[in-house]
Structure 1
Amino acid sequence: MLCFFYYNPSHFPCHLVLISGSSSGRRSQTTQLYNSHKMPKKLLLVDVDCGLDDAQALMMALAAPEVEILGITCCFGNTTAENVCRNVLRVLQVCKRMEISVVAVGPLTNLALAAKMDPTLPKKINKLYIMGGNMEGRGNRTVCAEFNFYLDPEAAYIVTNEFTCPIFIAALEFTWENSLTMEYFRNWVEQDTDKARFMKKITAKWQQKHGFVSYDSYAMAAAIDESIVTEYLECAVSVELHGRYARGMLVLDTEDKWKKQQKVVLMKKCNLEKFKERLWAALQ
């Protein structure tokens, strides 16, 4: 039996997190040395049957500034796979790596299934950033539904109704209203880098109706730097499942008629200069 626990290192860069103790000064010096030389990080996928020595090895990796842990897989050995997962969570907790944010930029199928398999999952997520849904009943897949929510409305319903973590949504209209110019897009892909040449090649036949809209990048940018989004709307939401025309549409309760305790945060306005800087840097 193999279970998988995913840790997002970008939320807590290893070289910025120091574990307190008698050797904290020594770790700080190591961190400063690493930062001054700007050495590339070693990417690790760690497979454990987490007993005492596994915990020690894992804590060593978490404290190493030159290491980025991409994921931790848990297998039976010292104890059952379930206990191994619990032990790994204990290690992450003591190393202050428990606040994991999730960015979902496709249909929400995996998140919904994961929550059904483990009902405690929504409580383990620090923040959830979603690109999907709509705020004004306008769609790009059907008349009333956005692409991601329409492809799996039941999953979108589960996530928006059953997840208790803070949810931030970059809806379709938000991305349209904060689009960039095609002039920016052309300059963006004309940078003299391999990344830019790759992007120019894969977007050669990409048709845009609303200017340059990098739909999923808005949710990612907000997860990286929340100050990029400058205005929000907070309200309860749900997803229409049975409508003849509106299946998959995100429904907003702006007047709080449902009296739902759980609210989501819908992005409304964006600091486009900061957003453009993030996109530009992505191809450098």
Structure 2
Amino acid sequence: MARRPVIIDTDCGIDDAQAIMMALAAPDIRVLGVTCVFGNTSVENVCQNVLRVLDVCERQEIPVFRGSGGPLVGARVATTDHFGTDGLGDVFKDRDPLWEQKVQKEHAVSALIRLATENQQQVSLVALGPLTNLALAVRLDPGFPQKLKDLFIMGGNMEGKGNVTLCAEFNFVMDAESAYVVLEDFLCRTYLATWEFACRNALTWDFFNELVSQNAPAAVFMRTVTSRCRAYSQEASRSQRDVHFGPGFVSYDAYAMAACIDGGVVTGSIECPVRVELQGAMTRGMVALDRSGELKKSHSVVVLTGCDAEKLRRLLVDAVRQPRR
């Protein structure tokens, strides 16, 4: 059976790295390319992080494309340094002086359009960061979404609970206009793995510690990049009790990637029109779910609600048993 072509659009931080590794380990997935966008760190750091992940997994043949360095409109929003200033925990002192030569000359947005055009209605696009590259792609080629098989997004929310503002999630806050454009103009089948969805389906820290205690290169890499933020993450997860999520290990981007790799990971969903709020002082970037038809939209989005934890764990375990081709 032919492997399914996938493009990954990422702002490669630690959880993005885990998601990318999952895709590389999946036997029926063929990663056509990785497009980079600002978010967890600068787009230059993102490119270097992706190249580092591909090196660890011995998959240097996969092309990496540099994309948007800031949002569609306005100045870039200041970010926290939860994943370090470089997105991977600031644990690596060595930098590849030749990294720019390893990144493709073609811009990420052009690559998205080209790869979708060359593989009409076959490509699954997995978006793990701010949606700027995707918004620019549909503005350059309005037919771009129809060329995709489907779209999986990690971002947004479904209950108005935020992780960087009162009501909105990081990826959508970083470029709310692009999130709005994508969820309005992408008419392909679209799946949304929200922040609350990930939090409500957290895994245990015992599982995570066992996951990164292995000696395979990918496991050692994950153990290294999480070495400085692990204690903070565990404490932060415990504090989530006050918003009814409960403590646990949450690799946010892995949920969207898992849904792409194995549809059986998804055990529940809500299908309805959605809209991203742009105007509210406290709600900018929030996703509104329209369950009553008020928006009069013909296009619905699949908002994920339930997750098969065992299948997710299995994909994460497979991801650190690199290399695999």
Q: What TM-score do you get using the length of structure 1 for normalisation?
A: 0.68
Partners of 2:127 and 2:151 within 8 A in 1:
yes
| Aligned-pair CA distance for 1:204 | 1.1
Aligned identity (percent) is: 43
- In the alignment, what sits opposite 1:282? 319
Partners of 2:6 and 2:126 within 8 A in 1:
no
- In the alignment, what sits opposite 1:268? 305
Larger Rg: 1
Partners of 2:132 and 2:175 within 8 A in 1:
yes
| Aligned-pair CA distance for 1:8 | 3.5
> For the residues of structure 2 that align with 1:215 and 1:115, how far apart are their CA atoms?
25
- In the alignment, what sits opposite 1:217? 254
Q: Tell me, yes or no, if structure 1 residue 119 matches structure 2 residue 139.
A: no
Given the alignment, which residue of 266, 275, 278 partners 1:241? 278
CA-to-aligned-CA distance 1:43-63 (integer Å, 9 cap, x gap): 477xxxxxxxxxxxxxxxxxx
Given the alignment, which residue of 227, 234, 238 partners 2:264? 227
- In the alignment, what sits opposite 2:39? none
Write out the 4+ residue segments of structure 1 that deviate beyond 4 Å after TM superposition.
9-14, 40-45
> For the residues of structure 1 that align with 2:200 and 2:291, how far apart are their CA atoms?
20
Q: Tell me, yes or no, if structure 1 residue 155 matches structure 2 residue 178.
A: yes
| Aligned-pair CA distance for 1:98 | 4.3
> For the residues of structure 2 that align with 1:42 and 1:107, how far apart are their CA atoms?
24
> For the residues of structure 2 that align with 1:112 and 1:160, how far apart are their CA atoms?
9
| Aligned-pair CA distance for 1:258 | 1.8
> For the residues of structure 1 that align with 2:122 and 2:137, how far apart are their CA atoms?
18
Amino acid of the structure 1 residue aligned with 2:248: G
Q: Which runs of 5+ in 2 are unaligned?
A: 8-22, 32-57, 64-103, 107-113, 238-246
Higher strand share: 1
| Aligned-pair CA distance for 1:177 | 0.4
Matches within 5 A, 1:173-212: 173-206=196-229, 207-208=232-233, 209=237, 210-212=247-249
| Aligned-pair CA distance for 1:194 | 1.6
Any idea what SS the aligned residue of 1:129 has? strand
Q: What TM-score do you get using the length of structure 2 for normalisation?
A: 0.60
Amino acid of the structure 1 residue aligned with 2:6: N
Instruction: State the Cα RMSD in Å.
Output: 2.9
Q: Which runs of 5+ in 1 are unaligned?
A: 1-6, 15-39, 46-71, 75-84
> For the residues of structure 2 that align with 1:247 and 1:176, how far apart are their CA atoms?
21
Q: Tell me, yes or no, if structure 1 residue 8 matches structure 2 residue 6.
A: yes
Given the alignment, which residue of 191, 197, 218 partners 1:168? 191
Amino acid of the structure 2 residue aligned with 1:150: V
CA-to-aligned-CA distance 1:176-221 (integer Å, 9 cap, x gap): 0000011111101101212111111100122321410000000001
Say how many residue pairs are matched.
213
Q: Measured at CA, do residues 276 and 261 of structure 1 come closer, stay the same or move farther in structure 2, by a change above 3 Å?
A: same
Larger relative CO (CA 8 A, sep 6+): 1 or 2?
2
